[in-house]
Amino acid sequence: MAYRIPSDTEVVKAIRDILDRHGVINSQRKLTALVLRSLRRHDSDYTVSQERVRKLALSNNLATIEIRCRDTKDKTSAGACPVCGGRTERIRNLTVYGGSVTMGYKCKSCGYWTGLKNRVPILYIFSPKE
């Protein structure tokens, strides 16, 4: 089964059209399905992943995203943001004795945050930017 990958501009145009037409979309899977349907009107062999649609919507400022997460038992470490791929920065707090303590990590670009226990994103809600 052959497939083709659309360019970023084609995907961004499809995302913009979908968000303008539907408004708030309460699932990454639903957004990807709508974008894929729009893209396949032009070429039936096009395919696009959910992660690519999410990252293009965020990087091109097409949508604001609300992230719902669940807690895990694993410890968190600073690294790449699981939502947008950006770098997370430490959230620090001063102690009574003048030292500092790491309270968690936050992504400056998309707003994802986690405490000392890792939070895994489970639901993305996309709203068009005005």
Name the residue range of residue 41's domain: 8-64
Same domain, 56 and 97: no
Q: Would you state the pLDDT for residue 129?
A: 87
83 in the same domain as 115: yes
- What total of structural domains would you count in the chain? 2
Task: Note whether residue 115 is domain-resident.
Answer: yes
- Where does a domain end: 40, 64, 88? 64
Q: Which of 29, 45, 64 is the last residue in one of the domains?
A: 64
Model's pTM, two decimal places? 0.86
If asked whether residues 94 and 112 sit together in one domain, one would say yes
pLDDT in tens, the chain (130 residues): 688 999 999 999 999 999 999 999 999 999 999 999 999 999 999 999 999 999 999 999 999 999 999 999 998 877 889 999 889 999 999 999 999 999 999 998 888 999 989 999 999 999 998 7
- Identify any residues that bridge with 119 across adjacent strands, giving them in sequence order: 71
Residue 129 lies in a domain: no
In angstroms, what CA-CA distances link 90 with 1, 43, 102?
A: 45, 44, 6
126 occurs within a structural domain: no
68 Cβ contact list (under 8 Å, min separation 6) = 121, 122, 123, 124, 125
Q: Token digits for 9?
A: 């501009």
